Amino acid sequence: MSLSTSLSRRILFFIRLYVLHANSLLALEREYFSYQQRTYHNGESSGLILIIDLSEDSDKFLNQKLREAGEKWGCFMVINHGLSLSLMAEMKKTVRDLHERPCEVKRRNTDVLLGSGYKPRSELNPLYESFGLFDMSSPQDVNNFCDQLEATTDQRDIMLKYAKATDGLARDLSRRLAESYGVVDTHFYRGWPSQFRINKYHFNTETIGKSGVILHTDPGFLTILQGDEDVRGLEAMDKTSGSFFPINTLPSTFLVNLGDMATIWSNGRLYNMKHRVNCIDPKVRFSVSSFLLGPMDRDLEAPAELVDDEHPRLYKPISDGGLRKIRLSMNLHDGESLKFITIKDVNAVPKID
């Protein structure tokens, strides 16, 4: 076989491999778009949640898609995000195993930040239970979390790999959003913690139609969710019509949604998605949530690039902890706390000790 023939065959092989990969991604997008058209286009709402391929060659084009999805829906799905299917599957199994721990072990998962630790089923959310880790960007915090729940060596290794990867993904997406707006400080999130929660919804045949988690926004900047492919239930609110549409998990995808801090930072451009979980399927649902929070030791405000005569500053500067105190003290969960820090209502900001 000549050298040229061998080279030609190799080139042909890689072309076929590329086409196969591209077709697989297109098939995935068509499957999801087709599903959304059947369920979401119900005469009350319009639009689709995007599946965004993070391997897109053009940074400018990719960043623009992230920005547009964040402004329109406050959420999007990502593929080619850098986490392998095997790691995601191992994490899902680890979540199931850790939730089998006895109650006395679960209670060792204590708060670092208010509400950051173990959450047993409650009157507000009677079907919801979760564990929490304050800062997954800290290997020490991850190891402490694993110690609390008596994780095995393999589970600890999975947790460390997963936490590092999802924290990196959240920060990369935040950087890209800043670049899309032309913000100079694209690493504005320096020093922000990344909270981590592993969730269990105790669904069964008797809980069909009941609430797993009430309608809420996330208080932080950005959330990465590994949902449950086998159990439906997550619903988001269309910001225009107020109607709800389902968000179902597809293999190898993450849902990314924006929170209250993103709305503050973007001067109202990015939408803090309102969402809830209801029981649709009569079986237990598991999910993994990674939250890039906000500044703990300083106030956050919109950068100068996002404030001008046409876009006056909307919100008073506030820290992550300050916003959480308003949310918790006034029992505001679905983004209503932002109205207390708008510039026009600056005197209405409650004093929280």
What pLDDT, in 10s, does the model give residues 286-344?
999 999 999 999 999 999 999 999 999 999 999 999 999 999 899 888 899 999 999 97
Alpha carbon distance 163, 132 (integer Å)? 12
Alpha carbon distance 246, 143 (integer Å)? 35
Alpha carbon distance 280, 277 (integer Å)? 9
Q: Which CATH superfamily is domain 45-297 in?
A: B-lactam Antibiotic, Isopenicillin N Synthase; Chain (2.60.120.330)
| Residue 166 φ then ψ, to 5° | -70, -35
- The confidence score (pLDDT) of residue 124 equals 85
- The confidence score (pLDDT) of residue 233 equals 96
The rounded percent of the chain whose pLDDT value lies above 70 is 84
DSSP secondary structure letter of residue 119: B
How would residue 203 be classed by pLDDT, with cut points 50, 70 and 90?
A: very high
How would residue 13 be classed by pLDDT, with cut points 50, 70 and 90?
A: very low
CB 204 within 8 A of CB 222: no
- Closest listed residue to residue 113, CA positions, set 85, 93, 132, 138: 132
- Average the pLDDT over 197-206 and give the result: 97
In which region does residue 182 sit, left (phi positive, over 0), alpha (psi from -120 to 50) or beta (all else)? left
- Average the pLDDT over 7-35 and give the result: 47
CB 99 within 8 A of CB 280: no
pLDDT higher than 90, residue 35 = no
- The confidence score (pLDDT) of residue 222 equals 98
Give the chain's mean pLDDT.
Answer: 87
Sheet harboring 211-216: ordered strands across? 211-216, 275-278, 234-237, 244-246
How would residue 113 be classed by pLDDT, with cut points 50, 70 and 90?
A: confident
Q: Which residues of 157-189 are buried (b: 16+ CB within 10 A; e: fewer)?
A: ebbebbbebbbebbbebbbbbbbbbebeeeebb
Alpha carbon distance 322, 299 (integer Å)? 9
Strand partners, 282: none
Alpha carbon distance 92, 89 (integer Å)? 5
How would residue 215 be classed by pLDDT, with cut points 50, 70 and 90?
A: very high
Q: What does the angle CA 166 – CA 167 – CA 173 come to, to the nearest 5 degrees?
A: 85
pLDDT higher than 70, residue 278 = yes
Structure pTM? Answer: 0.84
pLDDT higher than 50, residue 275 = yes
Instruction: Name the helix (H) or strand (E) containing 348.
Output: none
- The confidence score (pLDDT) of residue 190 equals 95
Work out whether strand 285-292 and strand 222-226 pair parallel, antiparallel, or are unpaired.
Answer: antiparallel
How would residue 4 be classed by pLDDT, with cut points 50, 70 and 90?
A: low
Chain length of the chain:
353
What does the longest C-alpha to C-alpha distance in the chain come to? 82
